[in-house]
Structure 1
């Protein structure tokens, strides 16, 4: 049975048809054999018994004719008639011998052969008597011929006729028996052929059912396995019991199931990692938003201080033209200005430190985007290995990779902006240091002598110019801070989009059931991270009014031309992020 299971389907079908051909051949040969038996019986009846009856009847008729010709020959009145009847008698004897020769080859039984041997003895004696009578008649001794005709010849002829009758009876009975035997043989042959035919049909049907079962059952099992895989259940155990085409099909389905299970498991793991990474990005954006809000507050305080310094410096410049009696108050004002400048220096140092921290955070964001790009690339490679089944996942991986590349590009732009801000802060710090030195010189000049009011006035003008530069730098920093806030908000939106794509990917692979896992294992795990981007968006929305208010107050102190230019630059960069 195992041997038949391991055979190819074509070999099974060939065996089945070969068996049916053997059965058909057996039926044909058996029928031919039975027909040969019937033909032998009919041949024996037609070529033996019936010809034997016919020949024996001819022999009997020849004997009667010889007897008649002998009588006419014996009682003939003239020699011409004698010769005529002698000739007829000789012809009848020749015909009798021909019939005897034909009959001798038709003898088939011992009884018939013994009876025919007795007949030959009597026939020879009878023909001798006939020859003797013909000689006596020719010699003119008719009386002796008549005596023989009525004596020995009559007795021998009667005995021959009795023997021929017995031979006729034997052959007639043999023919009847042969006919009856042929009928019995026909009936028996027909019954045997029908039995063999019925047995062959039963064996053929049994073999057909058996081959159909050993072929169809594995195919049904293969269809069931394929339907299970199509339904998303990859946990089924595929058993292979043969090495034929169906066994090879089941082996291919088993290998496909294992490969698909590995691909789905890796895709599910990758989607979880992407979800976790996007959640971490969202948390980083929230921290960056909080720090940006703190920086905006510091800029607001710095702007207020710069407004006070500007007012003070203008007041000093106006009073520098007054008399010497105001030098003392000018010295006090200069001292206050020095203190304010020191505070400005400290504030600018804090801004510089905060900007450097922002640069570090942007570097972390850039690294996360790079890792996300690597993960997306790995996912695309695995999707390519999966072939047709991984095409949808390849598209998703490509989108994730594009988002990661755009995140990296955005982080780079933020980093460049922060670096520019740090440079400008350092420049402002240098200017504030110069302003502090100038204030110290003013204090020293006021303490020395009041007659150098003109120098104080010049120094006051220089201080006013420096303060204007500081105010411009603070306005620029405020604008950059607003741009940073917009970038952080867009980064949060990108992280939320990345997380949404990861959730969709998890939903796609959740239809598959793996060993020890349910179909929806990836979605709840990713859903636990969904609150982080929402919190980030809420914090950004709350920080935005404060940043806008600080920007409004700072822009009031800037020049109209610079304000228009910087607003256009900010709008251009914001549009780029909106397009992203």
Structure 2
């Protein structure tokens, strides 16, 4: 029990007031002490949680940084792919133009070969006429030689001329025949050339068609690469925003941890200050211990 102090005279009321004030103060300090203990306990847990949060946020920041680097690498690779696709498209377009020019030149060559073939046919007709004329000349020369032989000595000179004419006709016929053979060979060569040109033309058509399809495919790759670049840019923007939020959270977590530690220190200091007072609960405990003895 609490020991009562008797005050004399007018001091009795003052003494009682002091005792009541001491009791109220003791109760208040007891409540403050309990509150400071709770604050210290909560501050320690809050500090630990803030430190764990700060560590987790730091790990998130590192992971996001690695992710950002990865996307940057992908963006660079996609950009190179788009550039290469554009170059390939230009090369393909150049090849297609060259093939188209070659195709046009080949058509011109076919037209020239057709003209040569037609001209050769006309020359063949002329040579046929020459051969016919040579044949008829040869017949006439032969008839003239027969008539000269009948004329005897007076027709001897004419017989010589007739022989020369017949020889020239034979040579003309032989030359015409050789020329006709050459023209025939030339026509065969032209015909074979036209077949080769026709086959080459078909092949060039297929090459041009394939080149156009390749150009379309390359254009699709380039377009897809550009779209992918835009998508990656948007993702990078999102990652940058997340990174900024994570950095802000990291800063807030560090500040929260520091504040918690400071609050824990202030609570401990408050406990120490309150510990300097002999509180009512301690007085009662000590009194009970004295009475039990």
Normalising by structure 1, report the TM-score: 0.26
Higher helix share: 2
Normalising by structure 2, report the TM-score: 0.48
